[in-house]
A = this chain, B = another copy of it.
Amino acid sequence: MTRIGILLFDGVEELDAVGPWEILGMWAHRHPQEAQVVAFADRPGPIRGAKGLQFLVEHGKDDVGPLDVLVHPGGSGIRPLLKSREHLEWLRSCSEQTGLMTSVCTGALVFAAAGLLLGRPATTHWMSLDLLTEVDPTVVVRYEHRFVDDGNIITSAGVSAGIDMALHLVKRLASPERAKEIRLSVQYDPEPPV
A39 on the B face (CB < 8 A): yes
Q: Of B15, B37, B187, which is within 8 A of A126 by CB? A: B187
| Pair B187/A194 contact, Cβ less than 8 Å | no
Q: Of B26, B105, B161, which is within 8 A of A51 by CB? A: B26
Contacts of A158 in B (CB 8 A): 185-187
- Which residues of A from 102 to 128 have beta carbons under 8 Å from B? 105, 125-126
A 156-194 to B, binary, CB cutoff 8 A, 1 in contact else 0: 011111011001100100001001100101111111111
| Pair B179/A188 contact, Cβ less than 8 Å | no
Contacts of A186 in B (CB 8 A): 15, 158-160
State the A residues within 8 Å of B (CB). 13-15, 18-19, 21-22, 25-26, 28-29, 37, 39, 46, 50-58, 105, 125-126, 146, 157-161, 163-164, 167-168, 171, 176, 179-180, 183, 185-194
| Pair A187/B157 contact, Cβ less than 8 Å | yes
25 A–B pairs (Cβ distance < 8 Å), ordered by A: A15-B21, A15-B186, A18-B18, A18-B19, A21-B53, A22-B51, A29-B51, A37-B51, A39-B53, A39-B54, A53-B55, A54-B57, A55-B56, A158-B186, A159-B188, A160-B188, A160-B189, A161-B187, A163-B190, A164-B192, A171-B193, A171-B194, A180-B194, A183-B194, A188-B192
Q: Copy number of this protein in the oligomer?
A: 2
Q: Determine the distance from Cα of A26 to Cα of B194 in the docked complex, in whole angstroms.
A: 16
| Pair A25/B54 contact, Cβ less than 8 Å | no
Q: Which residue of B lies closest to A13 (CB)?
A: B22
Q: Determine the distance from Cα of A56 to Cα of B168 in the docked complex, in whole angstroms.
A: 30
Take A126-B187, A164-B191, A192-B183 as given contacts and tell me if A55 and B52 are in contact as well, using a CB distance cutoff of 8 Å. Answer: no
Q: Which residue of B lies closest to A171 (CB)?
A: B194
Q: Determine the distance from Cα of A161 to Cα of B191 in the docked complex, in whole angstroms.
A: 8
| Pair B18/A125 contact, Cβ less than 8 Å | no
Contacts of A176 in B (CB 8 A): 194
